Copies of this chain bind each other. A is one copy, B any other.
């Protein structure tokens, strides 16, 4: 037996490890699957032990969201010297990468109340917003233009990526039980009741096609074009 390491403490738990495990659990079984008890047993520990490292479930979820968005702030810092269009493109793609690799967790970013009311998801940290504003201002945006661009950029990302994450999350299996609607008129998988929806029925294949990548790119183009137009007048 060695002396220090395996006799005293050797804390098996850390805030970081707990948050990582929580994110993994949410990725696997959705936010509903994350309970303190389930997380504990995942880590080979009783649920109560977690409270030594995390202030409660609320704090844990905050930690998961932070973990998810922390790489984002790093990207923003790294790209802060690019032209504003390149910068926004790269940030947009970084956010999309997060949404795609964590489709079940991404809604947490959108849904949880940010620390300040003017922090708009998915950009949830003051630093992130500060970097974004700084880049825009450095390239000739006025204060008002920069703030408007920040707002437009946020809602673009949120709308686009929440829908894309929902589609991918459903594949992963975040839907839970297929929810058996009360009406007996609904029976099967959702293909029913297309009887009084002729256009939906006719366009079903088209509606089911996944064009999220192209949609994202063109919507981003349009947004950037609009910002540029606004900037030069």
Q: Which A residues contact B (CB, under 8 angstroms)?
A: 15, 54-55, 58-59, 62, 107, 110-111, 113-118, 120-121, 126-127, 129-130, 133-134, 137, 143-144, 146-148, 150-152, 154-160, 162-163, 166-167, 169-170, 174-177, 179-182, 190-191, 193-194, 196-200, 203-204, 206-208, 211, 215, 219, 222, 226
CB distance from A27 to the nearest CB of B (A): 16
B154 to A163, Cβ gap below 8 A?
Answer: yes
Partner of A206, one of B107, B144, B191: B144
Partner of A166, one of B113, B126, B174: B113
B207 to A118, Cβ gap below 8 A?
Answer: yes
Which residues from B are CB-within-8-Å of A111? 107, 111
A200 to B129, Cβ gap below 8 A?
Answer: yes
21 sampled A-B residue pairs with Cβ under 8 A: A54-B182, A55-B180, A58-B176, A59-B179, A59-B181, A59-B182, A110-B110, A111-B111, A117-B208, A118-B204, A118-B207, A121-B163, A121-B166, A126-B197, A137-B199, A148-B215, A151-B215, A155-B160, A155-B163, A158-B158, A162-B162
Which residues from B are CB-within-8-Å of A203? 133, 143, 146-147
Which residues from B are CB-within-8-Å of A204? 118
The dominant DSSP class at the A interface is helix
Chain B's closest residue to A126 (CB) is B197
Most buried by B among A113, A121, A167, A211: A113
CB distance from A205 to the nearest CB of B (A): 10
Chain B's closest residue to A157 (CB) is B159
CB distance from A2 to the nearest CB of B (A): 33
Partner of A170, one of B113, B130, B199, B208: B113
Which residues from B are CB-within-8-Å of A127? 196-197
Partner of A130, one of B133, B144, B198: B198
User: Within the assembled complex, what's the spacing in Å between the Cα atoms of A198 and B143?
Assistant: 13
CB distance from A183 to the nearest CB of B (A): 10
Task: Take A118-B208, A199-B137 as given contacts and tell me if A113 and B175 are in contact as well, using a CB distance cutoff of 8 Å.
Answer: yes
A206 to B175, Cβ gap below 8 A?
Answer: no
User: Within the assembled complex, what's the spacing in Å between the Cα atoms of A198 and B194?
Assistant: 55
